[in-house]
Structure 1
Amino acid sequence: MEKAKISTTQLFVLVVLFEMGSAILVGIAADAKQDAWMAILLGLSGGIMIFLVYHRLYIYYPDLPLTSYVQEITGKWLGRLIGLLYIVYFIYLAARVLRDFGELLTTTIYNSTPLFVINSLMIITIIYAIHKGFEVLARVGEIYFGVVYLTAILGMMLITFSGLIHLGNLKPILENGLKPVIKTFLSQTINFPFGEMVVFTMLLPFINDKKKAKIVCLSGMILSGINITITVVVNISVLGVDLFRRSNFPLLTTIGRIQIADFIERLDVLFMLYLVIGGFFKIAIYYYAAVAGAADIFQISNQRKLGFPIGMIVLFASINIASNYAEHIKEGLVIVPTYLHWPFQIIIPCVLLIIAFFRNRTKKKSPS
């Protein structure tokens, strides 16, 4: 592991930027229609419970990342295999998010630019950032956190002053009962974005105040969950349920409708900055977890040697992951949650915790 240390504030910022990353970009929980906000809040509650599993594992092994303590729990060879699978999982998710933001840019302002060029520029920037070290990424996060929030507040004010919000679009509440909300919660929102906190099992050893890891991460999850819920409520209020479900990028469609005094309009390009910053940090964190995990599994002392090769894998995977955006979205909503998210975010960590509990039951309990 890199000898990095980050403050509680930096961890909080990274959690918020990571969680909001691509969740504010796509039409999250759209299957629940006007009750999407309920599915998101349920997902937040489930995500918090899952994170408590990750945190309990962290208490047992406070100085080790996931790829190391899985070897302590299950044995060297099985642990290395599970760790390797997690590395592939992180690379795959980094590629998915990179594709999301590449599609965003190529379908809006760079519609004559090949997807490969856009994705290459993004991944090269991320490779450079990670090469400078995780502490540098955390400090940059502190700077951009303010930019993201100022942009979000400005956007909310402009949407409100434009008179675009019609809260009647949120009715009738529970038109089809709780079933669609529960189904969306179990198939989407518990995993995306809240279950994705599994990546922080690779990063928690870096925090300089270990006793505050739990409250910091939970605070970041709650804040980002509230922000995502507000974003979805605004999108549905402005666009209506049908357009919200059909739009590839609902937030961008909402921002594009801002028009004040025939003067302030076409602000979607400005808010691209907000979305790209979130995407940058989400990809960077997944990518860093993959690099650090690979260095740990293969016992490579200088993990920077792995930066460029893994970056290239992420880049080419993002291009070849699906033949078009519709296929990419379908894969993300139908296949990935069942066959990847549930095993890697919920099932494996819970099994690891049970084994770790019995292995450590005679040891003195660490303070939580």
Structure 2
Amino acid sequence: MEKAKISSIQFFLLLFMFELGTAVVVSQGAEAKKDSWLSILLGLSTGIILFLVYYRLFRYHPSLPLTAYARKIFGTYIGWIVGLMYTVFFLYISARNVREFSEVLITATMPEIPLLVVIILFVLTMCYVLYLGIEVFARTAEILGIFLILVGIIGNLFVYLTGTVDLNNLKPVLEYGWKPVLETTFYPPLVVVFPFGEAFVFAMLFPYLNRVKAVKKVGIASLIVSGLILSYMAALNIAVLGVSEVERSPFPLLATVGKINFLEFIQRLDALVVMTLLITVFLKAGIYLYASVIGMVDLFRLKNHQQMILPAGLILVFLSVAIAEDFAEHSEEGFTTFISYFSAPLLIILPFVMLIIAFIRHRFTK
């Protein structure tokens, strides 16, 4: 691992914008209809429990990334395979995020630009910042975080000034009972995994933090803030668009901002959504890419991460393009097969297994 340190505020902003990612744009928890905001809150509560599991694993091995302490827990050979699984998994999710951003950008602003061009430019920019190191990437998050907050305030202000918010669209609460909310959250664990369970990727970054004791407090605070914002955005989309339109729209936030028409002068603020997504996906996909590269360096015992940035970036471009024929197929694959058969085992089940084994090993060592 490179010799670098991340401050607590940088960690807070990285995790905060990582959690927003593409979740702020897509219709998260839509199966719960009017109660999607409640489903997100339930997912947040479970996500905090998962984060405590991730934190406890880190405390058992405070100087090692995930791929290294997997070998300590499972043994050299099985642990190496587990580390490789996570390395490939992180790279694949990074590709999914890049593809989603590219689809939104082309849909909203530049329909004539080829998908491959957008993906290549985005990945090259990401690779350049990561080549400079994780400290540069973290400082970039500080600057972009302030800009993101300003964009969010401006966008919400114009939505309310336009007068399109109708709170009656949110009533009645729990119209169909708790069953749809619980099924949306836990079966399959869609809202739990995306985005809260994805915080497991920070197990690759925890050793970089300059204040190890602040990981739990800062991490949970960041999860709560991002979860509340996602819940609020889900409620706002329903209040503006109504349930039926939210279910039909692949990007509800884009449709919500499209309703802005202030004094027949301020209109078509789709660029605000694109800028929001640009910032959050740049950081989220970048964190996944960096975690994958660090995993490669650790598993194959390379000298530094810089020699693997460009090869990993090329693989990322290929995966982003080849991942699906169109966005409909991409979404269907992500919200069904990928969550159930890959994300849930790797982000929920396996960390619990690792914690149990690490706990038993720790007790026997004592």
Partner residue in 1 for 2:39:
39
Measured in 2, the distance between the counterparts of 1:361 and 1:51 equals 22
Whichever residue aligns with residue 46 of structure 1, its letter is T
Measured in 2, the distance between the counterparts of 1:179 and 1:317 equals 37
Partner residue in 2 for 1:258:
260
Whichever residue aligns with residue 354 of structure 1, its letter is I
Matched residue count: 364
Partner residue in 2 for 1:71:
71
Partner residue in 2 for 1:340:
342
Instruction: Report whether the alignment pairs 1:80 with 2:80.
Output: yes
Whichever residue aligns with residue 135 of structure 1, its letter is E
Instruction: Spell out, residue by residue over 1:58-95, the C-alpha distance to the aligned partner (whole angstroms, 9 max, x if none).
Output: 11000000000000011011000000000010011001
Measured in 2, the distance between the counterparts of 1:136 and 1:363 equals 39
Partner residue in 1 for 2:55:
55
Measured in 2, the distance between the counterparts of 1:63 and 1:362 equals 21
Partner residue in 1 for 2:10:
10
Aligned pairs (5 A) from 1:64-213 = 64-186=64-186, 187=188, 188-213=190-215
Question: What is the CA-CA distance between 1:155 and the residue it aligns to?
Answer: 1.0
Give the gaps of 5 or more residues in structure 2: none
Question: What is the CA-CA distance between 1:271 and the residue it aligns to?
Answer: 3.3
Measured in 1, the distance between the counterparts of 2:38 and 2:159 equals 22
Measured in 2, the distance between the counterparts of 1:306 and 1:74 equals 26
Give the gaps of 5 or more residues in structure 1: none
Q: 1:315 aligns with which of 314, 317, 322?
A: 317
Instruction: Report whether the alignment pairs 1:216 with 2:218.
Output: yes
Measured in 2, the distance between the counterparts of 1:108 and 1:41 equals 29
Whichever residue aligns with residue 349 of structure 2, its letter is I
Measured in 2, the distance between the counterparts of 1:133 and 1:109 equals 31
Whichever residue aligns with residue 336 of structure 1, its letter is F
Measured in 2, the distance between the counterparts of 1:144 and 1:172 equals 38
Instruction: Spell out, residue by residue over 1:261-306, the C-alpha distance to the aligned partner (whole angstroms, 9 max, x if none).
Output: 1111111123321221111001000000000011000000121111
Partner residue in 1 for 2:286:
284
Instruction: Spell out, residue by residue over 1:201-258, the C-alpha distance to the aligned partner (whole angstroms, 9 max, x if none).
Output: 0001100010010001111100000111111111110000011111111111111110
Measured in 1, the distance between the counterparts of 2:27 and 2:246 equals 7
1:361 is paired with a residue whose SS is helix
Measured in 2, the distance between the counterparts of 1:246 and 1:285 equals 31
Measured in 2, the distance between the counterparts of 1:145 and 1:289 equals 21
Measured in 2, the distance between the counterparts of 1:303 and 1:270 equals 34
User: What TM-score does the superposition give when structure 2 sets the normalisation length?
Assistant: 0.98
RMSD: 0.9
Measured in 1, the distance between the counterparts of 2:334 and 2:95 equals 12
Measured in 1, the distance between the counterparts of 2:228 and 2:2 equals 33
Partner residue in 2 for 1:270:
272
Whichever residue aligns with residue 217 of structure 2, its letter is I
Measured in 2, the distance between the counterparts of 1:175 and 1:229 equals 18
Instruction: Spell out, residue by residue over 1:131-181, the C-alpha distance to the aligned partner (whole angstroms, 9 max, x if none).
Output: 000000000100111100111111111111111100111112112111111
Measured in 1, the distance between the counterparts of 2:216 and 2:126 equals 27
Residues 237 and 252 in structure 2, CA contact (< 8 A), matched pair in contact too: yes
